[in-house]
Structure formats: C-alpha cells, structure tokens
Amino acid sequence: MTLQRLRLAKNEDKRLRSGHLWIYSNEVDTQATPLRNFSAGEQVIVENQQGKSLGVAYVNPQSLICARMMTNDERPVDLNTLKKRIKSALALREQLFDQPCYRLIYGESDLLPGLVVDRFGDHLCVQLNTAGMDAMRDIVIEALVRMLQPTSILLRNDAGVRKLEGLPLEVVTAYGEVPDEVELIENGVRFLAPLAAGQKTGWFYDQRPNREWLRNIAPGKRVLDVFSYVGSFGVQAAVFGADDVWCADISESALDMVHKNAELNGVADKLSTVQGDAFTTLKSLKEADERFDVIIVDPPAFIKRKKDQKEGILAYRRINEMAMRLLNDGGFLISGSCSMHMPREELLDLVRASARHIDRHAQILAEGMQGMDHPVHSAIPETRYLKAVLSRISRI
C-alpha cells in the first residue's frame, strides 16, 4: 500500500513530538498538501515542514481533528498492528481485574484512537467513533475475534461524535448472536446491562472505583441515587449494607433494570425507584420532607462543548445544592462530572460554594477519577475526563 503524505505547517510538529496524537486542520500545510486531496478514513504518512516523517495517521478532511496518529513509522496499520495493540491492552486489564468485565480499549490511551471496546465476559460492545477507525472495522472485528474468541460483538455506532466525522448512526451486530442483556460483576456485585437499548455501551465502567466508596459509608444508611440508570451506585449501596435505597431516573426501562439488578443480588426489599426529571424529583422530595444519609449525584455531561461551560457549571451547582438540602446533618454526598470541560478544581469549588450558600460545611474526604481500565494518555489531557468528589455535609 502506497500512502499519500500529509505535511504540517511550520513548527506544528511540536505537540506530536511530545506524544500527542491529534492533528488539527489549521496545523496542516494546505498549500503543499490540500486536505481536499484526501478521503475520509484514508491512512497517510505525516511529515513536518522539513519533510521528515513522523509516522502514519488516518485523516478526515471533514473534521476539526483532521488526523490522528497511529504509528511512528511508515508502515500502514494492518491486522497485525491492531492485534499487537489489543494484546497490550488486554494484558493490562487482565493484570488489574479478576473478572473479564472492563473497558478493554480506551481509544487514544491504548494507541487506538477512535476505538472503544467494553467487555462483558464473552460479549463485546464496540464503538467506532472516527472515520479512520470505521474504515478499519473489518480488521478490528477480525482482531477482536482472534484475540478474545467472543460469543458476540455489538457495534454501538450511535454516539453523537460520529456525526462530526460525517458517519451514519447505527447499532448493528458484527459477530455472533448478541443478547438483549449481559451480566457483569463490579466490586463483587452482579449486574445485568442492556447492550443495544442501554446508554452508550450499556454500562459505565469508569465510575467503578468511586462506587467502592459506598462500602464504607452506606451500611445502615438511607441512600438516594440520582441519575441512577440501571442502579450501578444504588444496588451496590444496598449490597454493601444500606438499609433503604431510592434510585431516581427519567427512564422507565432503566428503573425496570434497577429492580432486576436488586433481585439478582437479593436486595429487592431495600430498594425503591422514582421516575422523573432529576431536578423535579429532588424538588418533590424536599417538599415531602424526605431526608437521606448518602446521596449520589452523577449526571450526564452538562457541558458538552466549551461554550456551554458557564451554563453547565450553573446546572451542576444547582443539582448539588438541591441534593445537599436533602441530606441529614453529617450526611455524605458523592458528586460526579463526566464533562471534559469541567476542571476538577471547578467541581471542588462548586461543592464548597453550594454548601456555603445553604449554610453548610463541606468536608472533602476523597477525590476520584475514572478507573484504571480508562488510563490517561500522558500527553492528552482530554483523556482524563471523569471527576468525582466524596464530601461530608454538616450544618454550621
């Protein structure tokens, strides 16, 4: 395979030499190598202004991130390349986890930009989020089959980022027969997750270490899990010894799964569900004078784009303040944010500010991030996105 060359503008190779993998369209010397000459998903050799090769990337002229580096040599990415990268990623996860339940591939951090793979035992859920990775779908599936011998592979290619890449949204079976639900074990607790009908890949492995906090703070307590989805926090709280757990979510089907997961673990008698918008639910609970000892607030990304930062931070502050008003004196609050554009310092500050606004004192007990199956690429700060704060909220 003969690859075209993509030339960078003057001094635009510095970030790549530091290990970053992204090339923005304004970093390309479009006089020497017009972007219109490339096809979406095409592999190219990237060179600096002096013509020195930096490695192979795939391109997408339609995207702001117009290329993503794959190698530091000039050999095209093929099946063997993918197998080596998957082997390395698998070795890390098998060392870290005693159950085959984890994020197996985390895009750029595993040197496979645009590829996400979640493992649920013998079943895999895959996202091909870029044109370059989508162009390699056949060899991606072949590599996964050869390396893991899965029973099924589902492509959850319905993430909004595919629109930015000019790709269609789809949910399709790539291999085997995909079940409606898959079983996983997290922190010793069993769960069922909906693969095709659930959110994202069906489960959020990233919060695993932060859910472990509940083992120490939940026993004997009354717990409220806001934005509960299928009960990842709430059911674990019940298993860890909570007396009474309420799970609140807008999705009726998600709450049906909460009950199934509670029954699966023998804690159905401890668990109740509330369907509705989170802000409306918290307001209603306050009006009913309900009180809790532990509240988890783990919303979807309120800040999807940098320009939404101000409005999104206000939403995070409002939901955390509403939760604090429902806490008993000395109660615990777990505040989460999966918004990449929310700095950790901002989350800490809004917890403080929310507490002060209602005459409470917030003691920060722990900070968390995504689990080790979501490793951070040391040169790409964008790969560290999840923040979690455990605080104790007391009356002043």
What DSSP state is assigned to residue 73?
S
Chain CA centroid to CA 51, Å: 37
Which percentage of the chain shows pLDDT scores above 90?
Answer: 95
Mean pLDDT on 359-379: 98
Catalytic residue list: 338
Minimum mean pLDDT range among 246-260, 305-319, 326-340: 305-319
In this predicted model, what pLDDT tens digit does every residue of 274-283 receive, in sequence order?
999 999 999 9
Confidence class for position 304, pLDDT limits 50, 70, 90 = confident
And the tokens for 24? 């923005």
Count, residues in the chain: 396
Evaluate if residue 226 carries a pLDDT over 80: yes
Give the pLDDT confidence score for residue 267 in this predicted structure. Answer: 98
- Cα–Cα distance measured from residue 83 to residue 170, given in angstroms and rounded to the nearest whole number: 25
CA-to-CA distance for 310 and 316, rounded, in angstroms? 10
- Say whether pLDDT at 123 is over 90: yes
Entry pTM: 0.95
Task: With residue 81 as reference, give the H or E element that holds it.
Answer: helix 79-96
Q: Is the pLDDT of residue 309 over 90?
A: no
User: By CB neighbour count within 10 A (0-12 exposed, 13-18 middle, 19+ buried), where does 268 fall?
Assistant: middle
How does pLDDT run across 6-37, given as a tens digit for each residue? Answer: 999 999 999 999 999 999 999 999 999 999 99
Mention every residue, 6+ apart, whose C-beta is less than 8 A from residue 301.
312, 337, 338, 339, 340
Cα separation of the two ends of the chain? 69
| 44 phi and psi angles, rounded to 5 deg | -140, 160
Read off the amino acid at residue 396: I
Is pLDDT at 257 greater than 80 in this prediction? yes
* Residue 305, pLDDT score: 80
Mean pLDDT of 228-252: 98
d(CA 324, CA 296): 10
pLDDT in tens, 184-208: 999 999 999 999 999 999 999 999 9
Ramachandran angles phi, psi of 127, nearest 5°: -120, 125
Distance between CA atoms of residues 149 and 178, nearest Å: 14
Q: Is the dihedral of CA 152, 157, 161, 162 positive or negative?
A: positive
Predicted confidence (pLDDT) at residue 175 exceeds the cutoff of 80: yes
Mean pLDDT across 68-87: 97
